[in-house]
Amino acid sequence: MKIGFVGVPPFELISKYKQISKPSDWFDLDVPVCGVSKKTSMLYLPDTTCSVIQTILANVINIRPEVILAPTGPCKCDSMRFLLPIIRRIMPNVEIIECVNNDTRDFGHPISESALPLLEKFNLITNNVLELDPSLKPERVEPAAGFWGVPPYDFSILKLFPDNTHVFGWTRCMENKTPHKMDLELYVPCGLPIVFFSQAFCQKNILAKELASRHKGLYVEVDGLMDKSTQAKISAFLELRHCY
Amino acid sequence: MLLVDAGTSYIKIFDTEKDQLKILSLAELKANDQLKADYATGHNANLFTEATFVNELVALAKGAKSIVSDKDFTILDIGSRDMKLVKFHNGEFEKCDWNTSCGAMIGFTMELIMKYFNKDPDKICDTEMSFDITCGLLGITKFFDNISKTTSIDEGLSALINGLAKFTWQFAGKPEKLYLSGGLSENKIFISHMQKLVKELKSLGRTVLIEGLKNPELKNERTINSTSSYK
CA atoms A101, A104, A107, A109: torsion sign: positive
Contact B220 A230 (CB under 8 A): no
Contact check, Cβ <8 Å, B229/A239: no
Residue A218 forms contact with B (CB below 8 Å): yes
Rg (C-alpha) for chain A, rounded Å, is 18
| Cross-chain CB nearest to B219 (options A232, A237, A239) | A239
Mutation pick from A233, A238, A242 vs chain B, by most beta carbons of B within 10 Å, is A233
CA A155 from centroid of its chain's CA atoms: 11
| Contacting residues of B for A237, CB less than 8 Å apart | 57, 96
List, as ranges, residues 223-242 from A with C-beta within 8 Å of B: 227, 229-233, 235-237, 239-241
Residue of A nearest to B101 (CA): A229
pLDDT, tens digit (0-9, with 9 covering 90-100), for B110-144: 888 888 999 887 788 888 888 887 777 778 888 89
Q: What ipTM goes with this model?
A: 0.76
Residues of B in contact with A233 (CB under 8 A): 57, 96-98
Tens of pLDDT, residue by residue over A169-215, are 999 999 999 999 999 999 999 999 999 999 999 999 999 999 999 99
Taking only the tens place, the pLDDT of each residue in B57-108 is 999 999 999 999 999 999 999 887 788 999 999 999 999 988 866 556 677 7
* pLDDT tens track for A8-59: 999 999 999 999 999 889 999 999 999 999 999 999 999 889 999 999 999 9
The DSSP element (H or E) to which B20 belongs, if any, is strand B20-25
Sign of CA dihedral B96, B98, B102, B104: positive
Q: Which residues neighbour A40 within 8 Å (Cβ) at sequence distance 6 or greater? A: A57, A58, A61, A62
3-state secondary structure B106-172: HHHHHHHHHHHCCCCHHHCCCCCCCCCCCCHHHHHHHHHHHHCCCCCHHHHHHHHHHHHHHHHHHHC
Spell out which residues of chain B touch residue A194, defining contact as CB-CB under 8 Å. Answer: none
| Residue of chain A minimizing CA distance to B102 | A221
User: What are phi and psi for residue B115, nearest 5 degrees?
Assistant: -65, -40
- The neighbouring-strand residues paired with B39 are B3, B52
Which residues are bridge partners to B180 per DSSP?
B76, B203
pLDDT for the residue B104: 60
B22, burial (CB in 10 Å: exposed 0-12, middle 13-18, buried 19+): middle
**What order do you get walking across the sheet with A26-28 strand by strand?**
A26-28, A3-5, A67-71, A95-99
Q: What is the Cα B35 distance to its own chain's centre?
A: 22
Task: Select from A138, A234, A149, A230 the least CA-distant residue to A193.
Answer: A234
Whether B76 has its CB under 8 Å from any CB of chain A: the answer is: no
CA neighbor of A4 nearest in space, from A101, A97, A81:
A97
- CB within 8 Å: A244 and B96: no
Q: What is the pLDDT of residues A111-125, one digit of tens each?
A: 999 999 999 999 999
Whole-number pLDDT of residue B79: 81
